[in-house]
Structure 1
Amino acid sequence: MGLNLFPAILGAQEELPAQCNADGALEIAVVYRASEQAAKQAARTLKQIGQVQELALVVSILPVERLSANPEQSLAAIFIANSGLEPALLRRLSEHYQVLVFSPFEGDVAAGAVAGIHVADRILPAINLKQARRAGLSFKPFFLGIAHHAD
């Protein structure tokens, strides 16, 4: 479900084209700690999507430790492929890279990811506005009206 919502949440950002790399593409890092297999599946799906707002997606798979060690990497978003990352790490990634950190895992949005999913009587995108502001991100008003606010 998270892979289905991720492109919509990415596309709901204001100023998305400003996050493109020099080639005009959005670089998405699918990060993992424990299981590279989950990251490979997520990356395959995102590569099939191909673009958001007519902007091409360039998808890479990285262990979270390698991403943390490369502060110069240009990114448009980080997709978390495994549960269990520390809240401080989730917050640090979004604040350092100033990008959307998306986690489909329960509790991660409240813990420090910028966005994810909220499951209740229906499935909604979830947003942590405080963390989005810390990361310098803003979202379109329509999206904010339908999203579950997890702060």
Structure 2
Amino acid sequence: MCNKTKPINYLVLLLTSLILFSLSSTSQALDARDSRLLLVGGEFFPRIIQALEPADPLPKQLIIIYSNQANLQYAQTTANQLSNQLNLEYQLVSGLTPNQLTLSDDYLNLVFITDPNLITAEMLKALNQPHTLSFAPFIGSVARGVDVGLVVKAGIRPQLNTAKIAKRHWAFRPFFNSIASHYPTQEAP
């Protein structure tokens, strides 16, 4: 009898471990609202880039920052879509260690953040570079320090962190600015 219970105990332990692991991985995934905002952001980001009038005529570089393995799937899909629409190569970068993020001054770094949990003081410090424009489609992103975000009300509109953008000598076409000026910074949820 003792020999029969050991395999059952190991089986129970294995199943319990698998269940706990699957629960912990799904809890790190984006919720439904943020998943939808990420998809909307992927559609809207090319319009933001097209409205951009950078002071320096440097080549553009697309950087997609993801948080974990579950978020990597969203990031890859978004990166492929944006790369095709903007005709730019992209880099997928894990944002879990922002201090290791190196951005080149030889490019205009167009950074797309794919997880609201990555918008931290440490990440924003790494992104606060003269040739870098950060974008996150999540609610309250601009209020938390990202350069460009979205406002989703009756429609989808851009939201700009005008103070940060002006300090770095970035500019947007006047029509884009006039639309964005109607949507002041949202508070983070």
Equivalent-residue separation in structure 2 for 1:125 and 1:44 (angstroms)? 22
Answer whether contact 1:78 1:99 (CA < 8 A) is retained.
Answer: yes
Q: Tell whether 2:61 aligns with 1:12.
A: no
What is the correspondence of 1:21-36 to structure 2 with a 5 Å cutoff?
26-34=60-68, 35-36=71-72
The answer to whether the 8 A contact 2:54-2:169 is kept is no
Q: Which has the higher contact order (CA 8 A, sep 6+)?
A: 1
Unaligned segments of structure 1, at least 5 residues = 21-25
Of residues 60, 63, 82, the one that matches 1:46 is 82
Report which of the two has the higher share of strand.
1
My pick for the range that moved more, 26-35 or 69-78, is 69-78
Instruction: Give 1:122 shift.
Output: 1.5
**SS across alignment from 1:43:** helix
Residues 103 and 109 in structure 2, CA contact (< 8 A), matched pair in contact too: no
Indicate conservation of the 8 Å contact 1:30/1:78, yes or no. yes
Are 1:111 and 2:144 an aligned pair?
A: yes
Q: Distance in 2 between matches of 1:57 and 1:142?
A: 25
> How many pairs does the alignment contain?
141
More helix by share: 2
Q: Which has the greater radius of gyration?
A: 2
Q: TM-score, normalised by structure 1?
A: 0.80
Corresponding residue of 2:92: 61
Q: CA deviation at 1:36?
A: 1.2
